[in-house]
Amino acid sequence: MKYTNLIFLAIAAITFLSSCSLAKAVDYSFYVTEHGDYELNGRCFGIDDEPRERLLITDCGGYLNVLTSAITLGLSRSSEEISSIYRIATEEYLDSKYADCEIDKVIDYGGRLFEIYYHC
C-alpha cells in the first residue's frame, strides 16, 4: 500500500513538472497576439510574441523542443553559448519590431525553449 502511494506521488510530480513547459507552449500558442518564424543570424527561430511584454523563442523545430523540455521536466539548462544565441536573436527581433526595447528576464525551459520578458 505504501509503495502504491509513493508511485502515485512520483507520477503526479513528474506530470506536474513536465506540464510546466507544455503549459507555457500552449499558453503562447493560443493566447499571444503574434506568431512567426524568423531568419536571424542565418538561423530559423519560432517566436510567439505578446507585444511589448513577453515572448517565447525556440528554433523552428518548436514542437520537438517542447517535447525535449517536457521529457527533461524543464530542468535541463542550455549552455551559455546557446543562451547567448537566443538572447542575441531576441534582441535583433525586438530591434526590428519596436523601438528601444530591453530584456528584463530570461527563463530557460531547456530544449532550446526560452521565455523572455521585456519592455519598450
Assigned C-alpha cell, 18:
513536465
Structure letter (DSSP) for residue 41? T
In which domain, by residue range, is 53 found? 2-119
Residues 16-65: pLDDT tens digits? 444 455 566 666 666 788 889 899 888 999 999 999 999 999 888 756 66
Instruction: Give residue 99's pLDDT band: very low, low, confident or very high (50, 70, 90).
Output: confident
The per-residue pLDDT for 77 is: 75
How far the first Cα of the chain sits from its last, in Å, is: 56
Number of domains, the chain = 1
**pLDDT average, residue stretch 99-116:** 89
Secondary structure of the chain: what % helix, strand, coil (to 5)? 50, 30, 20
The one-letter amino acid at 28: Y
12 vs 61, more confident: 61
- Among 14-23, 66-75, 95-104, which range has the highest average pLDDT? 95-104
